[in-house]
């Protein structure tokens, strides 16, 4: 087994801010939640409620158009508007607004808890669709589609608890507080996929969780779940890199992990999948880390989906200083939120408000490339950003041809490490859109 | 106009900037510099200050005058100046760092677009330019012979370790002495321990990658360990090669320079290996004692190809597949090359004319002119190359000089210097004068005579009293054993002290060798001719004459 890949960077993790803060429910509860209809990259949903309808927690408020998943109300109350609202992925999108009545009335007609070992495949898939489960780390693909594709083909199930983004601790807290449930969920998925090996990947900055899980695994079935601890570095949660580190196989260009008989699921996805299968609970809440140098009291929160980000910030004590940059999902690959009007969606792992001091290195002026080669040595996909820079800046488009830009994972290591502060990731993204002669594929 | 791109992600970055990086390099160089001050005296600081000042000032002025942005804040000029100074001998005159610095900063760096765009290491190029000045880079001062500020050393070292090793001799130095740099050498390159510490500091700070320095050192180590010279033990030879000269300085501070080394990891390793191999080759077979500078500059020129050779394997691509892809790409680019048969028409622009062939005349004239100019250029280049070769072929010059000296000691042992004269005689091939330290001893006359087998050429020394001081045969066609018997030193010694006209028999004669009479007579004839020529020299002639060395 080769637990290595070339490259990666070692940013300060700043996880000390929140790693000792248990997951607490959002207090005060939001007055209003904005639930976007598009929370899944595989397809949107159409509302099944009208303005003025009373809804309860877990009630279906939108159903999938074709390949998407169901959307549920995360608080009980009245639907006050169906319209266009800001979306945390950028831009705006259609959303259902629910005025909270602070009762948290549970939905009466949730599916019955049942014995998952007796369920057949269609039952499982149906439950997952109905619970509205999408991938809850990073990419928001529909879990049932991934499961359907992977059934029977997979020999290794990888559960990703690497959480290599700085500041974020939601997966870490989940491991510590719901370790047993996650192990059970992993076993369930492995059994469903008929995978021979189930691996839980944790990075080295979560040694408390590793120790705890090791004890739990020993007590349960030691052969069922394998715990792999990797040296902390960014990026690690990328599918291709996880497969490389756990199995030593490299995903060829243009293929996915599935072609190498591996399936990768985020730890939060595994946890919600277990809840859906066992208890029939839909995805209405998730853990969100609110952290960053500008946040007064950083913490891990259990947040209803659709809560506006500003409510999260309020619950964390507001801003200590003016924040030059606020992002969802960590500073390395997260999305900048100009205003905090956008709501929490199913793949929002955290809200990070950087302080001026933390953000300063980024605002330094760009200087010329000195050919130090750092960007080449940190690229996990063996790309050559220095050459991309040269080709784009000198306008030599044909030189982009052999550089395999389609392999880029958008991890941003090159931009991070560049001593000249060149926005290399943006250059690479720009270069990807330039059609090259010969139209190289993949 | 650069397209401005808004940075979306990542929104954090490492704090380091270029100037911080360069500051790290300066910090890494300071211990070696301080050790240099301890070893060679305060003049080290003076030379360093001049060098750094020149580099910073020339970069500033060049960019200021060209209306470009001011880049001296990135400290790269300081680093170049420091490296240049540290590779100079402490006795270097102050114009040396000035010339080297200006060349390094303006010609090597700024002409190519400034930092990051130069393809040669500026400091190294400046240093190598200075090695072309004879005497500048060969007078190394021994350690602890402190040099005063004006550059006067109280003792010059006999030979540096590198010069000794160039001749295959192991320098008489302990390991500690080599590590501390207690021997003659450049003022910053001598203390090996401090350089190693500086290099490791840079690697630990992740300023440089260890690939090219370590590949460099490993290659030098392996090659010198496997092929020691002069019958020395492998290990001690290897240690001396590694710890003396510029290897450590070059490996840690010059082969790791950002702009002039490959960006790809494998390219960097190849770069280091190339530098090491070239260094050992140049040390063994080159005419300079040390070859690090030349090796690194040569590899600097190969960076383009190393970058492409070292391009990392595409992620997810097996080694075989990657190699196959590379070969295919190579084949594709080779197939782009087409050999087009050049259309050769001698008179392409032939015009019409009334007379047959008249149209060709102008054309012919143009072609001839072209030919003449091409020929001229070719001739000039050939002459230049020949002249450079003659004047720079040190060994040839040395051998000629030695032969001349040997001849002089045979012909005129009293004299130490042979010098040209303005005199001319029809019978003599050349007339040269022999001097000792203070006065004229006599003349050496090259004359010819017919011997048994052919022409005999001899050089005869005649002193100012008209007495023979010695005879040497420089060319002959006599038979072996018989004729050459007349050329041994015993026979030729008979002529010494003779004057007037030497006869074959009777008084003022010499004993001929039996069986080689004709040869003896021919030599005697030569001596007589020489005596006559010297006796008849009109030395009162007022000829403007300057004394010059041969």
Residues A156 and A262 both lie in one domain: yes
- Prediction ipTM score: 0.86
Chain B contacts of A402, Cβ < 8 Å? 329
Residues shown for chain A: 442
Given A279, A301, A328, which residue is the final one in a domain? Answer: A279
Residue B133, pLDDT > 60, answer yes
Verify whether the Cβ–Cβ distance B116 to A369 is below 8 Å: yes
Verify whether the Cβ–Cβ distance B114 to A368 is below 8 Å: yes
Partner residue facing A359 (CB), from B11, B209, B265: B11
Chain B contacts of A393, Cβ < 8 Å? 2
Q: Tokens in use for B464?
A: 């100012």
State the pLDDT confidence band at B345, using cuts at 50, 70 and 90.
low
In this prediction, residues A139-146 reach a mean pLDDT of 86
- 3-state SS of A136-196 is CCCCCCEHHHHHHHHCCCCCEEEEEECCCCCCCCHHHHHHHHCHHHHHHHHHHHHHHHCCC
Given A236, A264, A279, which residue is the final one in a domain? Answer: A279
Stretch among A87-91, B25-29, B159-163 having the lowest mean pLDDT: B159-163
The pLDDT value recorded for residue B355 is 65
Residues A264 and A148 both lie in one domain: yes
Residue B128, pLDDT > 70, answer yes
Tell me whether residue A211 is in a domain. Answer: yes
The pLDDT value recorded for residue A2 is 46
The pLDDT value recorded for residue B76 is 92
Which structural domain range is residue A199 located in? 2-15+111-279
Q: Tokens in use for B59?
A: 């970069």
B413-to-B191, B318, B371, B418 alpha-carbon distances in Å: 47, 78, 54, 11
Tell me whether residue A55 is in a domain. Answer: no
Residue of B nearest to A381 (CA): B315
Mean pLDDT in chain A?
A: 88
Verify whether the Cβ–Cβ distance B5 to A250 is below 8 Å: no
The pLDDT value recorded for residue B356 is 64
The residues, ordered by sequence, that sit 6+ positions from B432 with a Cβ below 8 Å of its Cβ are B418, B419, B420, B421, B443, B444, B550
Residue B432 burial by CB count (10 A; 0-12/13-18/19+): exposed, middle or buried?
buried
Partner residue facing B2 (CB), from A11, A358, A393: A393
Helices (H), A223-263: 239-247
Given A216, A245, A279, which residue is the final one in a domain? Answer: A279
The pLDDT value recorded for residue B347 is 61
A437 vs A320 pLDDT, higher one: A320
What are the beta bridge partners of residue A226? A199
Tell me whether residue A83 is in a domain. Answer: no
Residues A262 and A383 both lie in one domain: no
What are the beta bridge partners of residue A299? A290
Residue A442, pLDDT > 50, answer no
- What DSSP line would sit under B212-268, residue for residue? HHHHHHHHHHHHHHHS-STT--HHHHHHHHHHSTTHHHIIIIITT-STTS-SSHHHH
Angle between helices B43-65 and B18-40 (to 10 degrees): 150
Stretch among A216-220, B67-71, B382-386, B484-488 having the lowest mean pLDDT: B484-488
Please give the interface size between A and B, counted as residue pairs whose CB atoms are below 8 Å apart: 146
Tell me whether residue A139 is in a domain. Answer: yes
Question: Mutating which of A168, A373, A388 best tests the B interface, going by the most B Cβ atoms within 10 A?
Answer: A373
The pLDDT value recorded for residue A31 is 92
Residue A71 C-alpha, separation from nearest chain B C-alpha, in angstroms: 30
Output the domain CATH number for residue A198.
3.40.50.11540
Task: Please give the Cα distance from A400 to A429 (Å, whole number).
Answer: 12
Identify whether the C-beta of residue A335 lies closer than 8 Å to the C-beta of residue A329.
Answer: yes
- Does B314 contact A at CB distance below 8 Å? yes
* Chain segment B296-341, per-residue pLDDT in tens: 999 999 999 999 888 888 888 877 888 888 888 888 878 877 777 7
- State residue B464 phi and psi, 5-degree precision: -70, -15
Q: Which of A149, A106, A139, A136 is nearest to A239 (CA)?
A: A139
Question: Mutating which of A239, A366, A372 best tests the B interface, going by the most B Cβ atoms within 10 A?
Answer: A372
* Contacts made by residues B490-495, CB under 8 angstroms, sequence distance 24+: B491/B520, B492/B523, B495/B460, B495/B468, B495/B470, B495/B471, B495/B523, B495/B524, B495/B527
Partner residue facing B314 (CB), from A404, A416, A419: A404
Chain B contacts of A239, Cβ < 8 Å? none
Identify whether the C-beta of residue B13 lies closer than 8 Å to the C-beta of residue A416.
Answer: yes
How many domains are there within chain A?
2
A237 vs B483 pLDDT, higher one: A237
The pLDDT value recorded for residue B375 is 92
H or E segment at B457? strand B455-463
Most confident of A118-127, A430-439, B245-254, B442-451: B245-254
A228 vs B410 pLDDT, higher one: A228
Sign of the torsion angle spanned by Cα atoms A88, A93, A95, A99: positive
Verify whether the Cβ–Cβ distance B21 to A419 is below 8 Å: yes
For chain A, what percent of residues have pLDDT higher than 90? 42
Residue of B nearest to A424 (CA): B7
The pLDDT value recorded for residue B29 is 94
Verify whether the Cβ–Cβ distance A6 to B314 is below 8 Å: no
Tell me whether residue A423 is in a domain. Answer: yes
Residue A191 C-alpha, separation from nearest chain B C-alpha, in angstroms: 28
Residue B548, pLDDT > 60, answer no
* Chain segment A225-270, per-residue pLDDT in tens: 999 988 888 888 888 888 988 888 888 888 888 888 999 999 999 9
Residues A275 and A381 both lie in one domain: no
If DSSP codes are grouped into helix, strand and coil, which group holds residue B88? coil
Going by their DSSP bridges, the two strands A60-64 and A45-47 should be labelled as antiparallel
State the pLDDT confidence band at A291, using cuts at 50, 70 and 90.
very high
If DSSP codes are grouped into helix, strand and coil, which group holds residue B419? strand
Helices (H), B310-355: 319-335
Residues A275 and A379 both lie in one domain: no
Identify whether the C-beta of residue B97 lies closer than 8 Å to the C-beta of residue B47.
Answer: yes
3-state percent helix, strand, coil for chain A, nearest multiple of 5: 35, 20, 45
Residue of B nearest to A331 (CA): B11
Mean pLDDT in chain B?
A: 83
Stretch among A17-31, A216-230, B514-528 having the lowest mean pLDDT: B514-528
Residue A257 C-alpha, separation from nearest chain B C-alpha, in angstroms: 11
In this prediction, residues A287-315 reach a mean pLDDT of 93
Partner residue facing A327 (CB), from B11, B116, B264: B11
Residues A398 and A259 both lie in one domain: no
A120-to-A133, A144, A280 alpha-carbon distances in Å: 18, 14, 15
Residue B2, pLDDT > 50, answer no
Tell me whether residue A71 is in a domain. Answer: no
In this prediction, residues B86-112 reach a mean pLDDT of 90
Residue of B nearest to A355 (CA): B12
Q: Which of B264, B261, B260 is nearest to B312 (CA)?
A: B264
Question: Mutating which of B3, B5, B11, B122 best tests the A interface, going by the most A Cβ atoms within 10 A?
Answer: B11
In this prediction, residues B490-517 reach a mean pLDDT of 76
Give the alpha-carbon dihedral of A121, A255, A439, A411, to 10 degrees.
100
Helices (H), B13-121: 18-40, 43-65, 76-86, 95-102
Residue A159, pLDDT > 90, answer yes
Residue B329 C-alpha, separation from nearest chain A C-alpha, in angstroms: 9
The pLDDT value recorded for residue A406 is 87
Residue of B nearest to A90 (CA): B8
The pLDDT value recorded for residue B545 is 46
In this prediction, residues A4-17 reach a mean pLDDT of 82
Residues A240 and A131 both lie in one domain: yes
Residue of A nearest to B15 (CA): A361
Residues A129 and A266 both lie in one domain: yes
Stretch among A300-314, B241-255, B355-369 having the lowest mean pLDDT: B355-369
Chain A contacts of B312, Cβ < 8 Å? 6, 376, 379, 382-384
Partner residue facing B264 (CB), from A240, A354, A376: A376
Partner residue facing B10 (CB), from A371, A381, A416: A416
Verify whether the Cβ–Cβ distance A418 to B13 is below 8 Å: yes
- What DSSP line would sit under A265-305, residue for residue? EEHHHHHHHHHHHHH-----EEEEEEESTTBSS-EEEEEET
Partner residue facing B16 (CB), from A325, A335, A419: A419
Task: Please give the Cα distance from A57 to A47 (Å, whole number).
Answer: 16
Q: Which of B453, B481, B457, B454 is nearest to B471 (CA)?
A: B457
Q: Which of B278, B308, B283, B311 is nearest to B295 (CA)?
A: B278
Partner residue facing A367 (CB), from B18, B313, B329: B18
Residues A131 and A234 both lie in one domain: yes
State the pLDDT confidence band at B100, using cuts at 50, 70 and 90.
very high
Residue of A nearest to B329 (CA): A402
Tell me whether residue A237 is in a domain. Answer: yes
Tell me whether residue A324 is in a domain. Answer: no
Residues 391-420 of B with CB under 8 A from A: none
> Can you list the positions of beta strands (E) in B271-416?
none
* Chain segment B368-381, per-residue pLDDT in tens: 888 898 899 999 98
Identify whether the C-beta of residue B455 lies closer than 8 Å to the C-beta of residue B448.
Answer: yes
Residues A265 and A125 both lie in one domain: yes
């Amino acid at each position: 087994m080769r637990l290595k890949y070339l490259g990666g960077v070692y940013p300060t993790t700043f996880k000390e801010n929140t790693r000792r803060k248990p997951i607490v429910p959002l207090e005060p509860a939001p007055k209003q939640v904005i639930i976007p209809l598009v929370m899944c990259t595989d397809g949107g949903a159409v509302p099944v409620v009208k303005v003025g309808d009373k809804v309860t927690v877990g009630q279906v408020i939108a159903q999938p158009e074709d390949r998407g998943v169901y959307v549920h109300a995360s608080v009980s109350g009245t639907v006050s508007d169906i319209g266009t609202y800001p979306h945390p992925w950028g831009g705006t999108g259609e959303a259902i607004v629910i005025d909270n009545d602070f009762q948290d009335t549970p939905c009466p007609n949730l599916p019955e808890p049942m014995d998952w070992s007796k369920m057949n495949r269609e039952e499982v898939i149906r439950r997952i669709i109905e619970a509205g489960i999408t991938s809850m780390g990073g990419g928001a693909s529909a879990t049932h589609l991934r499961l359907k594709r992977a059934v029977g083909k997979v020999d290794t199930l990888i559960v990703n608890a690497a959480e290599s983004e700085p500041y974020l601790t939601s997966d870490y807290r989940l491991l510590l507080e719901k370790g047993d449930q996650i192990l059970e969920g992993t076993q369930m998925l492995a059994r469903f996929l008929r995978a021979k090996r189930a691996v839980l990947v944790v990075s080295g900055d979560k040694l408390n969780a590793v120790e705890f899980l090791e004890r739990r695994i020993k007590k349960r079935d030691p052969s069922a779940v394998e715990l792999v601890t990797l040296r902390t570095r960014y990026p690690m949660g990328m599918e291709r890199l996880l497969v490389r580190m756990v199995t030593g196989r490299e995903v060829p260009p243009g293929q996915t992990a599935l072609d190498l008989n591996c399936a990768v699921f985020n730890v939060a996805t595994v946890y919600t999948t277990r809840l859906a299968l066992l208890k029939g609970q839909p995805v209405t809440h998730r853990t969100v880390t609110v952290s960053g140098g500008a946040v007064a009291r950083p913490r891990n929160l259990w947040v209803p989906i659709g809560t506006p980000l500003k409510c999260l910030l309020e619950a964390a004590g507001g801003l200590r200083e003016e924040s030059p940059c606020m992002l969802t999902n960590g500073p390395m690959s997260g999305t900048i939120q100009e205003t905090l009007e956008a709501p929490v969606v199913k793949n929002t792992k955290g809200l990070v408000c950087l302080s001026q001091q933390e953000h300063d290195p980024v605002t330094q002026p760009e200087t010329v490339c000195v050919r130090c080669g750092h960007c080449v040595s940190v690229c996990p996909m063996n790309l050559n950003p220095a050459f991309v820079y040269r080709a784009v800046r000198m306008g030599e488009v044909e030189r982009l041809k052999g550089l395999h830009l389609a392999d880029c994972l958008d991890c941003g290591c090159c931009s991070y490490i560049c001593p000249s502060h060149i926005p290399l990731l943006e250059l690479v993204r720009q270069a990807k859109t330039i059609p090259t002669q010969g139209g190289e594929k993949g | 106009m650069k397209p401005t791109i808004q940075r979306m992600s990542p929104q954090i970055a490492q704090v380091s900037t270029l100037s911080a990086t360069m500051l790290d390099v300066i910090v890494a160089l300071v211990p070696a510099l301080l050790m240099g001050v301890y070893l060679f005296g305060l003049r080290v600081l003076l030379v360093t200050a001049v060098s750094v000042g020149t580099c910073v000032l020339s970069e500033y002025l060049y960019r200021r005058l060209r209306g470009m942005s001011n880049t001296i804040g990135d400290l790269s000029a300081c680093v170049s100046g420091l490296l240049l100074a540290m590779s100079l001998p402490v006795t270097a005159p102050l114009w040396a760092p000035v010339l080297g610095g200006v060349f390094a900063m303006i010609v090597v760096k700024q002409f190519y677009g400034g930092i990051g765009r130069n393809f040669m290491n500026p400091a190294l190029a400046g240093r190598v330019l200075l090695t072309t000045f004879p005497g500048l880079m060969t007078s190394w001062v021994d350690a602890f012979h402190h040099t005063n500020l004006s550059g006067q050393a109280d003792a010059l070292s006999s030979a540096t370790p590198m010069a000794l090793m160039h001749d295959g001799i192991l320098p008489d130095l302990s390991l500690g002495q080599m590590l501390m740099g207690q021997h003659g050498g450049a003022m910053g390159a001598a203390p090996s321990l401090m350089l190693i510490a500086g290099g490791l500091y840079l690697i630990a700070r992740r300023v440089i990658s260890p690939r090219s320095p370590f590949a460099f050192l490993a290659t030098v180590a392996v090659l010198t360990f496997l092929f020691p010279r002069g019958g020395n033990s492998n290990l001690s030879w290897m240690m001396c090669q590694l710890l003396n000269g510029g290897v450590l300085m070059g490996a840690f501070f010059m082969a790791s320079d950002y702009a002039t080394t490959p960006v790809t990891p494998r390219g960097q390793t190849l770069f280091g290996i190339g530098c090491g191999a070239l260094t050992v080759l140049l040390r063994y077979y080159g005419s300079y004692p040390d070859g690090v500078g030349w090796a690194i500059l040569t590899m600097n020129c190969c960076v383009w190809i190393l970058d492409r050779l070292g391009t990392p394997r595409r992620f997810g691509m097996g080694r075989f597949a990657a190699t196959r892809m590379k070969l295919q790409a190579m084949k594709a680019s080779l197939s782009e090359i087409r050999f087009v048969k050049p259309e050769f028409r001698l008179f392409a622009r032939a015009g019409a004319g009334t007379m047959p062939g008249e149209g060709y005349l102008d054309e012919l004239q143009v072609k001839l002119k072209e030919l003449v100019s091409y020929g001229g250029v070719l001739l000039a280049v050939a002459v230049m190359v020949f002249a450079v070769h003659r004047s720079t072929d040190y060994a040839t010059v040395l051998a000629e000089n030695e032969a001349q000296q040997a001849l002089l000691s045979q012909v005129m042992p009293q004299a130490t210097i042979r010098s040209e004269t303005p005199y001319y005689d029809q019978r003599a091939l050349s007339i040269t004068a022999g001097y000792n330290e203070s006065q004229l001893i006599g003349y050496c006359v090259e004359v010819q005579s017919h011997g048994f087998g052919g022409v005999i050429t001899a050089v005869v020394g005649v002193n100012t009293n008209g007495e023979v001081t010695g005879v040497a045969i420089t060319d002959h066609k006599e038979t072996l054993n018989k004729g050459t018997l007349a050329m041994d030193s015993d026979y030729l010694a008979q002529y010494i002290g003779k004057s007037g006209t030497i006869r074959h028999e009777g008084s003022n004669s010499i004993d001929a060798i039996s069986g080689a009479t004709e040869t003896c007579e021919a030599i005697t004839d030569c001596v007589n001719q020489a005596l006559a020529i010297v006796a008849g020299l009109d030395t009162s002639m007022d000829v403007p004459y300057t004394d010059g060395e041969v």
